[in-house]
Amino acid sequence: MKKEMNQYVERLWNGLVTENPTLVLMLGMCPTLAVSTRAMNGIGMGLSSTAVLVLSNLVISLLRKVIPDQVRLPSYIVVVASLVTVTELLIEAYLPSVYDALGIYIPLIVVNCIILGRAEAYANKHGPGLAVMDGIGMGLGFTIALTLAGLIREILGNGTAFGAQILPKTMEPIGIFVQPPGAFLVIALFIIIMNAIGIKTRQRKLVDGGCDGCCAACAAACDKREEVSAQ
């Protein structure tokens, strides 16, 4: 029993730290860069994605013996797209301010590499309990990274944290950090720090691999691409 418990805790730790989807695996870069203008947006986006990820992991894990191998990616996309639509409608109804802030990036959770990536790499090989824990760990890891990026950008670019004034009003905030370029700079800074303290990210594979390296769905495409170029 104890060993079984550890397995579940290990999944959480794996998602939060060892394989943090944003900071270590470098997945889901689009939403990370786009919505991290405010710490609150980071939490909103992170938790919406977590909800979708946990449910999609659960559904895909339950269906793993039913879905034929050849059509698994389209099946996953249908499952994820349905869940995203439900989440979008719920957010629109109950959290209109979050809906306005995140805009088009909510439906784009469908193409978030983390979700298809976890379906392909984990949920279709493991039982529902472990898959849900994996979803929670990965989702929270994503949420924390997003919120952290949002917090840094909000403090530097707007002088506030979670909407509360932090820096003295006399200090002019560096506006560029809440503009698009700030997103690239803050994420670059994260990776520089991780590199400097010696945490291996997968970024070398991402950048030097030649192939997109972006997600499991791409991985299928990548295999095909390599086949074609080998011919």
Partner 1 sequence: MKSLILIIIGGALINNVVLNQFLGICSFLGVSKQMKASASLGVAVIFVITIASAVASLLYDYVLAPYGMDYMKTIVFILVIAALVQIVEMFLKKTSPAIYTALGIYLPLITTNCAVLGVALTNVQSGFNFLESVLAGFGTAVGYTLAIVLLAGIRSRIREEDLPEPLRGAPIVMIAAALMSIAFMGFSGLSF
Indicate which single residue of 78, 125, 162, 166 sits in contact with partner 1 (rule: CB under 8 A): 78
Among 6, 7, 85, 165, binds partner 1 (CB under 8 A): 85
Interface pick for partner 1 out of 19, 88, 120, 134 (rule CB under 8 A): 88
Q: What are phi and psi of 122, to 5 degrees?
A: -125, -55
84 contacts partner 1 (rule: CB under 8 A): yes
Closer residue to partner 1 (CB): 66 or 196: 196
DSSP 33-62: HHHTTSHHHHHHHHHHHHHHHHHHHHHHHH
Is residue 191 within 8 A of residue 203, CB to CB? The reply is yes
Is the Cβ of residue 9 or residue 192 nearer to partner 1 in the bound state? 192
CB of 197 to partner 1, least distance (A): 9
**Phi (first) and psi of residue 164, to 5 degrees:** -95, 140
> Which residues, 31 to 60, sit near partner 1 by CB under 8 A?
31, 33-34
Report the nearest approach of partner 1 to the CB of residue 66 (Å). 19
Name which position in 12, 17, 111, 155 contacts partner 1 (CB under 8 A): 111
Options 25, 132, 152, 217; binder of partner 1; rule CB under 8 A: 217
Residue 100 and residue 223: Cα distance in Å, rounded? Answer: 39
Q: Residue 131 or 217: which CB sits closer to partner 1?
A: 217
CA dihedral 9, 11, 14, 17 (to 10 degrees): -50
Of the candidates 107, 43, 47, the residue with the CA atom closest to the CA atom of residue 77: 107
Question: H helices within the chain, ranges in order?
Answer: 2-13, 29-35, 39-62, 72-94, 96-102, 113-121, 128-158, 180-196, 203-208, 216-230
Q: Which of residues 171-190 bind partner 1 (CB under 8 A)?
A: 176, 179-185, 187-189
Neighbours of 189 (CB within 10 A): 12
The rounded distance, in Å, linking the Cα atoms of 145 and 1 is 32
Q: Which is nearer to partner 1, 34 or 161 (CB)?
A: 34
Nearer to partner 1, 15 or 182 (CB): 182
Q: Which residues bind partner 1 (CB under 8 A)?
A: 26, 29-31, 33-34, 74, 77-78, 81-82, 84-85, 88-89, 104, 107-108, 110-113, 116, 176, 179-185, 187-189, 191-193, 195-196, 201, 203-204, 206-215, 217-218, 220-222, 224-225, 228-229
